[in-house]
Every structure is written in structure tokens, then in C-alpha cells.
Amino acid sequence: MKARPATVRIAAGQGFWGDWLEAPYRQVTGGPVDYLMMDYLAEVTMSILQKQKARDPSLGYARDFIPLMERILPTVAERGIKITANAGGVNPQACAQAVAELARRLRLGGKLRIGVVTGDDLLGRLDGLLARGHELRNLDTGRPLSDVRDRVLSANAYLGAWPVVDALRGGADVVVTGRVTDTGLTLGPLIHAFGWRPDAWDLLAAGTVAGHTIECGAQCSGGNCLVDWERIPDLANVGYPIVDAAPDGTFEIFKHPGTGGRISVAGVTEQLVYEMGNPAEYITPDCVADFTTIRLEQKGKDRVRVSGVKGRPATDKLKVSVAYFYGYKAVGTLVYAWPDAYKKAQAADRILRQRLADLDLKFEAVLTEFVGADATHGPLARAAARLDELPEVQLRIGVRSRDKPAVERFTREIAPLILNGPPSVTGFAGGRPKPEEVVAYWPALLDKHMVEPCVDVVEV
Amino acid sequence: MKRIRLLDIAHARSGDKGDTANVGLIALKPAYYPILVKHVTAARVARHFKGMISGPVERYELPNLHALNFLLHGALDGGGTISLKTDAQGKVFSTALLRLEVEIPR
């Protein structure tokens, strides 16, 4: 048996699909790391990928993963760095195949193994599950999925770290997954490297906290950090975070030398509470982590130590994310200038709303915001601002409806205001807003034993 | 007594889960944490955001991080892709909470 390493370094390369393209390259070249972890999948991403796959069965994964891999694969292969990424979306097999073709093109044939994790996709099994009494009730509203069954676009169970572990144990250098949790992409390598047991709840919770800390990339290394934000150095050259973990579940967060940003207790704390529910119960497929047990300590410049994490057994459910077609929306904007910018924008809003009412258009929602006055902080901002002296205000008005013609008609009611509404208006060069299809998200739970993760490892 | 804004004693980050926004409120110094616990109650936060959220407010304590976590239900006009709001993902409820004023002993 191979000796266990003293520590394992896992570098965050992408915090979401669309994150900084330079980050993964810098992470694998800026200093020694053992793993590169890349998180691609937000809740709505799966439905976009499902639509792409419906048009072309060879698609349905994060396509820009491939050019990104082209840039780093030679370095990764040379240095023995392993990659975990949920870039596979709704078509991990096709994604893995594209990586394999790329590897052969880069003359890495015989030097690389690719692991593929599937089994999360429930779309083809939905009717069977519903027929067997799995109602997939909405976690927020309590409604059964049968309410929207005919409009479902994608349905995926969140898999955890263990299928990633299986792929790594099978010798995979690059693990491509579908809907694996963000934290599982970090916990998987730690379980694999240290041989953590499936019931070592404190260790699994520690690895989950490590994953949560770096899953949003630079958001824990100086990005979007409120404390002392003006003095966070060189964000243009920001270093993405790296976990340096020990077998006992303690770990340190650091970044490569010479990079910008900052790793501080304050910044790491901001990331820990990000998208947090009940902090004592951070539920994943692998364990329940207790964030009220985390200890943070500044260990030096740009290095924070994390310890003390406690965990409890995993639940017998998996979260399921269903995306379904909801309706249409459109948002139109116009900009009003001083003097009386805010009053003019308000007047335009009243006129527009009257015209929509006179046309007898039915909307589920009409929302007006005055950008520059209240779009971010609502009435709290209006109470604090000198509204009569604002230099400019953007009227931003949005509508939502199941009825597409109503939304289309709304989009034609913005421009006329330029000539037949309040004065000193500009900022309409973008033209008429376009109605947008709304895909909504339906969170549910499913008995864990109903989902069978599948792992393949293939040599390139 | 003196009146201070939370901005002077705390920082924050917010995010979303469906139609719920969460705000993690973090004391700038450990000594400020008891002030947050005492004054920034769920009821006080619900009053602060009156007219901006349609559901209740829940509060959780993280004394280890000198932080409170608030869940603001019904904050995002349906949330995620459905929402018509500029801040559809609740990213700036964080600084909106920091506008809250509390009275502390001089």
C-alpha cells in the first residue's frame, strides 16, 4: 500500500461557470499543489445544459472546460496534479470523451486516466419514481412534483464525495462528474489521500468545511470582501485559495506566493457564512457538518488555520434539483437626468403602469426599481438619500407572466416614453428588451438508496 | 447611550437559497459580538427590512466566529431565475443590514 501523504494541497480553480479563465493555469503553475478542484454547476446551469443536449446529444457539459484543459493538461500530467470538476453537467460521458480526444491530441496517450461519475441524472426515471410513491415535494412550498411534471426540463440528484473517491481509487487523473456537490469535489480527494472512513464524521465534516471555504474561488482570498476592501492588495493579480490539509482534519487556507488578494480570518469568515442556513446543520450527502464548531486562527501572512470541526452522520436522503419551465419575463430601462431625475422616473413608471392596465395585460408580477435611488437597499436607501438632487436615475421595470404575448407587448411600451413621457430621458440605445424564458428551480429530497452512482475510469 | 450603525462594529456577506436571502453578520472585534447578540434580534431585523421581505426572519448564533446568521424568507421576489429584482441573489442584503442603528452605552 502506498504511504499516506503528510498533507494534501487542493487548489480552487473555478468558483462557478464563467469564473476567471486565468485562475486554473495560475493555480497549477504558481507553486506545488496536489489537486485542482473546479466547481461549475449552479442550480440553473443544469437546465441550460439540458437544453443544449436536447439540440445536440454530444453537448450538455461546460464546453469551455475543454480549451481550459488544453492549456493546463500538459503541466498537470507532468507534475502529477489530479483534477476534480463537475464540468460534466448533464453529459459527463461526452465531456470525458472530449477531454480524452484532447489528451491524445496533446500526445498524452498512455499517460492519463479519466474518471467519469454519472448516476445523478433522474430525468428518464422521474415517472417511475413518481409512480412508486416518491412525490419529490418542493422543500419550500410542500407541493408535489406532479404539479409541474409536464414542464420539467432536468432533474438531478446531488451526489457526494464517494463516487469521486472511487474514481481516484481507480487511478483517475481527471475526474469529470455531473451533479456532484461543490464540497464533494474537495472532500473526495481528502478521503482518497488520507483513507478516511465512511463513518469518520468529524473528518468528513472537516473536509466539507474545507470544500465550502474554497468552492467560491477568490471569494475567500480577498474577492468580494467587505472588511478593509480598499486596502486588499493587487486584486488584478488575485491568488485563488488552496487548502493544505492534514490527515487529522485540520487544514490551512493559503495562496501562491507573489499573488494578490488576502487570506484573513475576516475574509474566510465571510465565505463560511455565505449561503448558510442553520450553521449547526450543514447537510451534504456525506455528513452533517456543524459550522458552530469551526476554529479559525491567523497563522501568518495570507494563511488561516481551520480546526475543531465536528460532524454527525449523513441523512438517508439526497437533495434533488429539478428545473422546470415557468413562464416569461422582460426588464426594460430608461435613464432620467437632473433636475428632478427621481421624480421624472417615478412619473414615467406611473404612466407606463397605467398604459399596461389600459391594455388589460395580465402579469404575475410588475416590479419597479429606481437604480441610483433604491434598487439595492429599497426603502432603507430612500430614507437615507437626498432624492431631489440625484444627478441621474435609471428607471428599471420588469414584468413576469405565463402569457408570452403580454410580455412581448410590454417590451414595446418602453420606447414610446422617450418622446411621449417625462423629459430629459436617455440611455435606450440597447433597443427593445427581449422576452426571456424563465426556468425555475424545484428543490426536493429523495431516499438515498434510490440513486446508484456510477463510476468509470478509462485510459486515454 | 450612543447610537451607532452596525457598519461601525460589523461586516457581513449575504447569499441566496431559493426565495430566502441569508445574511452573515460578523463582529469586527470579538468584544462587539455580545452587542450583536443583544441588539440585533430576529424581530429587530424583521422591522429593519419591513416592506422588503414577505416572510419571517430566523436568527442563528455562531459564537465561534463572532457571527450571527439571519435567514430572510420571501426576500427575493421568488428567487433565482424567477426574480425581477436587480439583486435577485440577495448579494447586497449584507450592507443593507449594516445600515441598522443600535443604541449602546457610551
Q: How far is residue A290's CA from residue A281's CA, in Å, rounded to a whole number?
A: 6
The answer on pLDDT for A355 being more than 90 is yes
A150: Cβ contacts below 8 Å, ≥ 6 apart: none
A195: Cβ contacts below 8 Å, ≥ 6 apart: A4
Are residues A294 and A355 both part of a single domain? Answer: no
Are residues A192 and A238 both part of a single domain? Answer: yes
pLDDT for A46: 84
> Which cell is A223 given?
474577492
C-alpha Rg value of chain A to the nearest Å:
25
In tens, the pLDDT along A420-438 reads: 999 999 988 778 999 999 9
A358: Cβ contacts below 8 Å, ≥ 6 apart: none
Q: Are A369 and B85 an interchain contact pair (Cβ–Cβ within 8 Å)?
A: yes
pTM over 0.80: yes
* CA nearest neighbour of A290 among A212, A202, A162: A202
Are residues A92 and A53 both part of a single domain? Answer: yes
Place of cell 446568521: B69
CB-CB contact of A163 with A116 (8 Å): no
Buried b (16+ CB within 10 A) or exposed e, A44-60: bbbbbbbbbbeeeeebb
Q: How far is residue B106's CA from residue B98's CA, in Å, rounded to a whole number?
A: 20
- A25-to-A68, A126, A135, A244 alpha-carbon distances in Å: 8, 40, 44, 19
The answer on pLDDT for A1 being more than 70 is no
Q: Are A377 and B17 an interchain contact pair (Cβ–Cβ within 8 Å)?
A: no
Residue B17 touches chain A, beta carbons under 8 Å: yes
Are residues A290 and A363 both part of a single domain? Answer: no
H or E segment and range at residue A37: strand A35-38
* CA nearest neighbour of A156 among A124, A183, A108, A121: A121
Q: What is the CATH number of the domain that holds A342?
A: 3.30.70
Q: How many helices (H) and strands (E) does chain A have?
A: 13, 19
Are residues A86 and A206 both part of a single domain? Answer: yes
Are residues A206 and A311 both part of a single domain? Answer: yes
> Which cell is A406 given?
403580454
B99 to chain A: closest CA residue? A380
> Which cell is A84 given?
476534480
Q: Which residues from chain B sit within 8 angstroms of residue A380, using beta carbons?
A: 48-49, 52, 96, 99
Q: Which residues from chain B sit within 8 angstroms of residue A278, using beta carbons?
A: 60
Separation in Å, CA of B43 to nearest CA in chain A: 17
pLDDT for A431: 82
Are residues A179 and A309 both part of a single domain? Answer: yes
How, if at all, do strands A317-337 and A365-371 pair? unpaired
pLDDT for B79: 87
CA angle A393, A397, A398 (to 5 degrees): 150
pLDDT for A2: 62
How, if at all, do strands A288-290 and A282-283 pair? antiparallel
- A4-to-A8, A194, A201, A420 alpha-carbon distances in Å: 10, 6, 20, 74
Are residues A211 and A249 both part of a single domain? Answer: yes
Q: Which residues from chain B sit within 8 angstroms of residue A224, using beta carbons?
A: 13
Are residues A362 and A227 both part of a single domain? Answer: no
Confidence band (pLDDT; 50, 70, 90) for A384? confident
Place of cell 441573489: B89
Most distant CA pair in chain A, distance = 79
Are residues A231 and A344 both part of a single domain? Answer: no
**Is the reported ipTM for this assembly greater than 0.90?**
yes
For chain B, list residues with pLDDT below 70. none
Are residues A361 and A261 both part of a single domain? Answer: no
- Domain count along chain A: 2
Give phi and psi for A32, each to the nearest 5: -70, 130
Give phi and psi for A138, each to the nearest 5: -65, 125
Q: What is the mean pLDDT of residues A67-82?
A: 96
pLDDT for B106: 80
* A458 belongs to a structural domain: no
Q: How far is residue A258's CA from residue A46's CA, in Å, rounded to a whole number?
A: 36
Instruction: Report helix angle A65-79 to A22-29, nearest 10.
Output: 0
In tens, the pLDDT along A294-332 reads: 999 999 999 999 999 999 999 999 999 999 999 999 999
In tens, the pLDDT along A179-210 reads: 999 999 999 999 999 999 999 999 999 999 99
Q: Which residues from chain B sit within 8 angstroms of residue A376, using beta carbons?
A: 86-87, 92, 95-96
Mean pLDDT across chain A: 96
In chain B, what are the helix, strand and coil shares in percent, each to the nearest 5?
A: 25, 35, 40
In tens, the pLDDT along A221-276 reads: 999 999 999 999 999 999 999 999 999 999 999 999 999 999 999 999 999 999 99
The answer on pLDDT for A351 being more than 80 is yes
Q: How far is residue A15's CA from residue A215's CA, in Å, rounded to a whole number?
A: 6
Q: Which residues pair with A330 in a beta bridge?
A: A399
Give phi and psi for A328, each to the nearest 5: -135, 155
- Give residue A52's region: left, alpha or beta (phi > 0; psi -120 to 50): alpha
Residues shown for chain A: 460
Q: Which residues from chain B sit within 8 angstroms of residue A367, using beta carbons?
A: 77, 84-85
DSSP string, A253-287: EE--TT-BS---HHHHHHHHTTT-SSTT-EE-SS-
* A101 belongs to a structural domain: yes
Q: Can you give the residue range of the structural domain that contains A209?
A: 8-120+158-315
Q: Are B60 and A227 an interchain contact pair (Cβ–Cβ within 8 Å)?
A: no
Residue of B15, B49, B65 with shortest CB distance to A296: B65
Q: What is the CATH number of the domain that holds B37?
A: 3.30.70
CB-CB contact of A394 with A372 (8 Å): yes
Residue of B24, B92, B99 with shortest CB distance to A273: B24
Sign of CA dihedral A442, A444, A450, A454: positive
- Domain count along chain B: 1
Please report which residue ranges of A199-259 form alpha helices under DSSP H.
Answer: 201-214
CB-CB contact of B14 with B92 (8 Å): yes
Are residues A309 and A349 both part of a single domain? Answer: no
* A307 belongs to a structural domain: yes
Q: How far is residue A158's CA from residue A117's CA, in Å, rounded to a whole number?
A: 12
Q: Can you give the residue range of the structural domain that contains B57?
A: 2-104
Separation in Å, CA of A141 to nearest CA in chain B: 11
Which residues numbered 19-48 in B keep a CB inside 8 Å of some CB on A? 19-20, 22, 24, 26, 28, 48
C-alpha Rg value of chain B to the nearest Å:
14
Q: Which residues from chain B sit within 8 angstroms of residue A279, using beta carbons?
A: 60, 62, 69
Q: Which residues from chain A sit within 8 angstroms of residue B77, using beta carbons?
A: 365, 367
